[in-house]
Structure 1
């Protein structure tokens, strides 16, 4: 089973958008780690979007890559 190029680009752009990591850093992640990062970003977005007192888009953050390495 191969991993689809469209799915890979979707994950890469998602991580790049939210964490501002460069393309080579994201592509160096093994699939399970990249998928986990995508899931964690999704959890954070869900939590933030559930807070009615917050305006969308104001909660951006950057996590150093070393936290996952």
Structure 2
């Protein structure tokens, strides 16, 4: 599951993304609002989940997205 999750980030950013919990919108200028939506939609499609609209603006790091995805997938 973690490999699929990281693969989404690698595809969206066009580079290999490893398990780095410091990877976030705050410290990566290439993580734009458009890329954020692409990540969210890709995770939802891959794992068959739907993030709550009010949660999406808070999920701005690899770590936060991973933890929320794990919580939702069970």
Please state which band the TM-score falls in when normalised by the shorter chain. 0.3 to 0.5
TM-score (norm 1): 0.37
TM-score (norm 2): 0.35
Which protein is richer in helix relative to its size?
1
